């Protein structure tokens, strides 16, 4: 648990195999929160602007650390021919596999799709059949993205900041995500502001405290087009709001 010379809660120390997706959904999505609906609208409009000139052929999307949250995958449906949900925790992998099966996703996600379908590109999509058709789930770690695979659109919601207390692991997580995107790829990344950790079910999980400046500093080397929304809404004790970063990848070869 050493992080530099200070003892901190690293990613490898967390009980990911015991993560409870139903408890997570109960606490965050079962009753739609206005802040989450706002995030969905902001991401929807950002992706719509980025593809307003047309969608390139063969766009692949990735949601990194997907967890028990279908909103990022749903936000990419009109733009992609394939979407990968990358997730480490076995319970979340099992949950996601049920959601993308031919039986269709749970009704809890309908309220979020209603927000998305207010834009014409989304209204033209039948979400359950499309999700089952183009989305696949892969068990893997965010750090596994240090490789040759690249995607044309990407999302990372509450991951790099919500898996470790260590600044080096936060930076590595952001770098792995951004380096997985092709040049020009639109992205959306969400962070808990000043989070000191969180509890899901019977287990506590670590967080790295970030603010708007810290998020901007971590993302700026990878994008010359970045807007950060400071959403002043708390969903639980132990944080000070949410941050949503929207932008486009500047170059495949950029380094932090």
Judging by beta carbons within 10 Å of its beta carbon (0-12, 13-18, 19+), is residue 245 exposed, middle or buried? buried
- Mean pLDDT (whole number) for 63-68: 96
pLDDT 10s digits, 94-149: 999 999 999 999 999 999 999 999 999 999 999 999 999 999 999 999 998 877 88
Nearest to 245 by CA among 158, 146, 119, 116: 158
Is 130 a member of any domain?
yes
What DSSP element (H or E) covers 120? helix 120-123
pLDDT at 253: 54
Instruction: Write out the H or E segment, with its range, that includes residue 73.
Output: helix 71-76
Residue among 172, 175, 170, 168 at smallest CA distance from 191: 170
Residue 167's SS3 state is helix
Each residue's pLDDT tens digit, 152-195: 999 999 999 999 989 999 999 999 999 999 999 999 999 999 88
For the chain, what is the domain count? 1
Above 60 in pLDDT, residue 5?
no
> Is residue 64 domain-resident?
yes
Q: What is the value of pTM for the model shown?
A: 0.92
256 falls within a domain: no
Look at 229 and 4; give whichever has higher pLDDT. Answer: 229
pLDDT at 113: 98
Nearest-angstrom CA–CA distance, 21 and 15: 13
Show the CA angle centred on residue 223, arms to residues 174 and 52, nearest 5°. 115
- pLDDT band of residue 3 (cuts 50, 70, 90) is low
Which residues constitute the domain of residue 227? 2-50+57-248
Q: How far is CA 11 from the centre of its chain?
A: 17
Percent of the chain scoring above 90 in pLDDT: 74
Quote the mean pLDDT of the chain.
Answer: 91
Over range 192-212, report the average pLDDT.
Answer: 87
The DSSP code sequence of 37-57 is HHHHHHHHHHHHHHTTT-PPT
- Tell me, yes or no, whether 253 lies in a domain: no
pLDDT at residue 150 greater than cutoff 60: yes
What is the CB neighbour count within 10 angstroms for residue 5? 5
235 within some domain: yes
The whole-number pLDDT of residue 256 equals 42
Residue 176 sits in a domain whose CATH number is: 3.40.50.150
* 254 belongs to a structural domain: no
Which pair of structure tokens corresponds to residue 26? 């109960």
107 Cβ contact partners less than 8 Å away, ≥ 6 residues apart: none
């Amino acid at each position: 648990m050493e992080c530099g010379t200070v003892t901190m809660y690293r990613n490898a120390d967390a009980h990911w195999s015991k993560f409870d997706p139903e408890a997570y959904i109960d606490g965050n999505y079962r009753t739609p929160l206005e802040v989450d609906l706002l995030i969905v609208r902001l991401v929807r409009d950002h992706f719509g602007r980025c593809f307003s000139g047309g969608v390139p052929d063969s766009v692949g999307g990735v949601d990194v650390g997907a967890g028990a949250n279908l909103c990022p995958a749903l936000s990419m449906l009109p733009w992609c021919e394939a979407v990968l949900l990358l997730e480490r925790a076995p319970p979340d992998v099992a949950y996601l596999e049920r959601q993308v099966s031919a039986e269709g996703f749970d009704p809890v996600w309908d309220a979020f799709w209603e927000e998305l379908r207010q834009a014409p590109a989304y209204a033209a999509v039948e979400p359950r059949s499309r999700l089952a058709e183009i989305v696949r789930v892969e068990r893997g770690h965010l750090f596994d993205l240090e490789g040759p695979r690249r995607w044309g659109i990407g999302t990372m919601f509450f991951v790099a900041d919500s898996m470790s207390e260590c600044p080096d692991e936060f930076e590595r997580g952001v770098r792995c995500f951004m380096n997985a995107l092709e040049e020009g790829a639109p992205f959306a990344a969400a962070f808990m502001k000043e989070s000191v950790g969180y509890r899901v079910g019977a287990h506590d999980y670590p967080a790295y405290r970030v603010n708007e400046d810290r998020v901007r500093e971590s993302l700026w080397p990878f994008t010359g087009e970045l807007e950060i929304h400071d959403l002043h809404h708390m969903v639980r004790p132990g944080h000070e709001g949410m941050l949503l970063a929207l932008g486009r990848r500047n170059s495949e070869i950029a380094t932090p």
